[in-house]
Amino acid sequence: MSKDTFDPTKYNNSNNEPFAAVMERELSRRSILRAGMGMAAVGMLSGVGLAGCSSSATSSMTHSAGSTGAKVKLGFDSIAGAKLDAVVVPKGYSAQVLAPWGTPLNDLAQEWRTDGANTALDQANSLGMHHDGMHYFPLNGSSTDGLLCINHEYIDQKALHPTGPTKDSNSLRTILDEVRKEINAHGVTVVRVQQTNGMWDVVKNDSHNRRFTGATTMNISGPVANKALLETPFSPAGDKVRGTLNNCGNGYTPWGTYLTCEENWPGYFVNTGTQTADQSRIGIDANNTRYGWDDLAGNAAEIDDEFKRFDITEMGKDATEDYRNEANGHGYIVEINPYDNSTSAVKRTALGRFRHEGCVFGQVVEGKPIVFYSGHDSRFEYIYKFVSDVNWHAADAGRDDRLAVGAKYMDQGTLFVARFDDNGVGVWLPLTMDSTTTQGGTLADTFSSLAGIILNTAGAADLVGATPMDRPEWAAVDPVNGAVYMTLTNNTKRTTETNAANPRLNNSTGHIIRWQEGDNATQFSWDIFVFGAAEDASPEVNISGLAELNQFASPDGLAFDARGIMWMQTDNGAPELTEYTNDQMLAVVPSQLTTDSGELDTINSSNQTELKRFFVGPNGAEVTGLAFSPAQTDLFLNVQHPANWPYSNDATMATPSHKAVRPRAATVIIRKNDGGEVGI
């Protein structure tokens, strides 16, 4: 998530035991972990397997490293930090700029203009702004011809328009085309890209190219898909919703669809009247919307209440006369079939409604449920998983009706929230009507239906006693052993808990947690894989023993490639690191970090050199989004909100100090100069 859209308000006012208190006790035993115990063994958990309810899950993480294939070794030298209007990659690599904001997808759009004067129609048919999560979908298995699905998290109004947004003397928006352009700059792009002689290009006018914007009509499925909760003047049947907003992290599915995640969507809506419990808990504003789109409500040129819908205040006698239900259609995982442009996007409500940062599936095993993990990116919020009711059938991976497969595995199942207990043990707490609360009742005492639980997922998690975390963001699953990793970016509001083992109350540098599933869907074991820190921080802060060439703060984006390399990206706001380097991406092979007895280890002073810095972004930018070609020869990542970049098609070429360019988020493609696999 970008710092520009981060909401610092603490919406979790429960008294649930914070993760900091659990972590203090966990850290008191880290000397045991470093001595070779791996993750704490729990007698009731055994084996290795599916991250869900497999009978072959493990607590001790004793799965042999690299058992699924040859051992992988990083083959580049860790690079130094940098502060440039350019990207930096290791020696022997090149970096190309591809598909920056405003690149036309078809002939309906003019070419991008350096003066910012492109219209709303242009923007509806061009790459959106502020690229974020991303995935590469090959065409016919090709590593040189495929579809990129790219999230567009938010906008920079100053860059989007020639001189910023136009407002009257009362600071109200006045230009319809400007607001429409902003709405169209949000959402997701599907774009065909091809490589020729080592260079990539957008295939303009390809039939796959399409945009999903903040105004695109979408379907909605799962528990919340009913008239009573979604009825609006635009959708009287309550079966449609307009737009997807603040698309940050992403995921994909075993059946070949793209998942885009709606994160800081509450800021786009306002309720100036009496808020419902779910609106208060998730953070709907009581005074203003983020960009003032509702300022143009009632304008004579407004179409289908396109601006009015962002004001969800109850004004009429029922939902036929106002947009009280509009926000109920937002806050979900959205599924897209990139291969079929005749299909609509579908919001899968069963996976919960909150500020989703990403969505990743666990290990896939024939005859076992499909599992998805997602974090709620806000201070003191929670980690969730969804377990399908239906067991996986491998033949579904080859079906053309991909969204029907999605309905099969994503519309019915159980949503769980994590509680992290002492000694490296954890419990997944189900969010169902009969779930027990910490007060001794059930969720049925508070909610009248499963749909009500989903609408206020975080409120339900409060009641069952979930563990408040330090901003859960992206998750990733190790293809070697099924271990699940999640970035906990930071939490500078953690100021009241103290402990001798880890006095990092102002946790500005964050950490990555790791867990492995147990014998059933409610059990897991966990440890802390790595702590972010500056190299010169005290040992109580730099617990992982990081050095100059791998120091980092605020881990954010996270992904494994098919070989078992974990790539970690930062959204650094810690002053102890920002003077040293811009945002970066590091790599490590966790399955290769083992103790003498063969158990998985954490990052520590004896092995920290295995964590290497691979990429540094330009000034002002966040490094985010990650995808690989099937051959592992092309790494795609995104550079979001740069200050003065790109200057050239060569991403490593710095913008001259005397020259200012209109900044454009873009995808960067990194390749080895010899054409080999990236990273090794």
Residue 352's closest CA among 297, 313, 410?
410
0.75 exceeded by pTM: yes
Going by C-beta distance under 8 Å and a sequence separation of 6 or more, which residues neighbour residue 658? none
* Statement: residue 37 has pLDDT above 80: no
Residues of the chain by 3-state class (helix, strand, coil), percent to 5 = 15, 30, 55
Question: What mean pLDDT is reported for the chain?
Answer: 90
CATH (domain of 376): 2.120.10.30
238 within some domain: yes
Say if 458 falls within a structural domain: yes
Residue 168 above 50 pLDDT?
Answer: yes
Is position 359 within any domain?
yes
Q: Residue 261: pLDDT above 90?
A: yes
Residue 42, pLDDT > 50, answer no
Q: Is the Cβ–Cβ distance between 329 and 361 less than 8 Å? A: no
Q: CA 215 to CA 124: how far, in whole Å?
A: 10
Lookup: tokens for 445: 């005492």
Structure tokens at 490: 């930071």
pLDDT value at 444 more than 80 = yes
Go through 624-644 and write b for each residue having 16 or more CB atoms within 10 A of its CB, e for each that does not: bbbbbbebbbbbbbbbbbbeb
Q: Domain for residue 679, yes or no?
A: no
Percent above pLDDT 90 for the chain: 82
Q: 281: helix, coil or strand?
A: helix
The pLDDT score that the predictor gives to residue 65 is 36
* Whole-number pLDDT of residue 491: 80
How many domains, the chain? 1
Which range of residues forms the domain containing residue 284?
A: 3-672
pLDDT band at residue 597, thresholds of 50, 70 and 90?
A: confident
Could you tell me the pLDDT band of residue 26, with boundaries at 50, 70 and 90? low
CB atoms within 10 A of CB 607: 18
Give the pLDDT mean for 229-235. Answer: 97
In 3D space, the residue among 218, 159, 216, 204 whose CA is nearest the CA of residue 620 turns out to be: 159
- The pLDDT-based confidence of 494 (bands split at 50, 70, 90) is low
Rg (CA), the chain: 24
Name the one residue in this structure whose structure tokens are 């994909």.
252
Residue 677 in domain: no
Question: CA angle at residue 345 from 192 to 342, to 5 degrees?
Answer: 60
Percent of the chain at pLDDT > 70 equals 88
Q: For 35, list phi and psi in degrees, rounded to 5.
A: -80, -5
**Tokens describing residue 179:** 């607001």
Please give the pLDDT value at position 48. 28
Phi and psi at 478, nearest 5°, equal -70, 120
